[in-house]
Amino acid sequence: MNYVIMLDGNKLPQNHVPFSRTMLDQTIERLQVINGHLKRLPELHVTPEVGLIDEIIHIQVTGLKPYQNVTIEASVAENNARFVSWATYKADKKGEIYLSRDPALSGTYSGIEPMGLFWSMKSQTEGKRMIKKRADTARIVKIKAKPNSETSGTECPCLEKTIERWYKSINVQRIPVKEGKLRGTVFIPEGKGPFPAVIDMFGGLVDLVESRAALLASRGFASFALSYMFMDDLPKVATEVNLQYFLDAVDWFSQQPYVDADRMGMLGLCFGGGLSLWTAAHEPKIKAVVNINGMPFFHCQLQKNDVPTPYQGIVKTDAEILKDGVSMKGIFSVPDNNFIPAWQYGSKILVLIGEDDLMSSPHWHAKYLEACPAEFRSNIEMVRYPGAGHLIEPPYTPLNRLIPVSFGEIERFDAVNSTFLLCGGETKLHAKAQEQAWDKILNFLRTNL
């Protein structure tokens, strides 16, 4: 007699089974789907699918064959360019891959790097920088998993997820500013103010970049992304920048109802860093300054209204011609320690230094500290990042080593005779520096504002 094993382990004669063979097959099939170890389809898991740019993304692939090789790709379309990264992984004996646990065997990065797909992206157009100038839209990232197998269909599909990476939290307010001569964008955090406040500036080659200011607001700071060149009727060359503009920006921002005027700071990259130092040297309201690879003197003669300001350096012509471009770090110098005295009103100063900066020499930051009077020297903190280049940006931003010479006013430098200027940086070390620097910036501002 034929028997059928029931789900409770008992045996019944086949002619006593209380349901049909079709029903039994359907039940077993459902059990196979429920019990993942019996039958699992490959799946790509990415969390969170919507989050801030400085959040870690968790990526997993499950349902693979044991020890199967899989290539995972990420891509972004931004700034009129496409950025791509990839890495190959081997599944474990359960057919699972965890980017937080497993090493990448090859690709645009290697080793255990949970966020490697993000910081190792490379532009398919040379010299293009992944930069989001407006923060009111998300960065869209497409992630694909392509199992390396000769089979196809449901046994080995191409898996895909699309995620959103934001600089601005959903409840952060974004307010464009066109107030007198001031140009920029204000971001107001969620919650009840007034808030500690930061004026944020990038270098002298872009009109306005909102991304970092939006991220600061998402972390609790009222922020003002301040443009000082190229936008609307603002100067088109650095020598036309009026330093009174930055004092006016502090005065206006400090009067806003969402700003705590007793807790104001500035954050600047490159030329924006030097301008932040100058503002702190002339405005007691600035209690903290973060200078990212900004020279502590000016590379050209600037004026406050019609009065020339000191702190002017010298531009020489001994740019270094390297294999993939020109390094400008050697063309600037400053006579007689003519540094910007940002310390004189007691402002706390954090200087972040990329030791592979090829646009401005790290040498001058050490000289700056030496020039600071002894009574203020403890107010200055310098952090050096080996292998980091000039553009130290929020975490997981891909390294940009090159800037086209035709960009902005670079083409006016007589020392340049190449297609690209070099920002410097080694991909993996630069990525680690950006991650550490962002934590350092937030902690510094929270402590001193």
- Among all residues, which ones are annotated catalytic? 270, 357, 390
CA–CA gap between residue 208 and residue 125 (Å, rounded) = 22
Phi-psi region of 280 (alpha: psi -120 to 50; beta: other; left: phi over 0): alpha
Phi-psi region of 179 (alpha: psi -120 to 50; beta: other; left: phi over 0): beta
CA–CA gap between residue 366 and residue 351 (Å, rounded) = 10
Specify the 3-state DSSP secondary structure of 217.
Answer: helix
Give which of 245, 267, 269 is closest to 177, Cα–Cα: 245
CA–CA gap between residue 356 and residue 418 (Å, rounded) = 20
**Sheet order of strands, 58-62 included:** 43-47, 58-62, 97-98
| Residue recorded with tokens 């089979």 | 151
Check if the beta carbon of residue 400 is closer than 8 Å to that of residue 203: no
Residues whose CB falls within 8 Å of the CB of residue 130, separated by 6 or more in sequence, listed in order: 76, 78, 79, 81, 83, 121, 123, 397, 398, 400
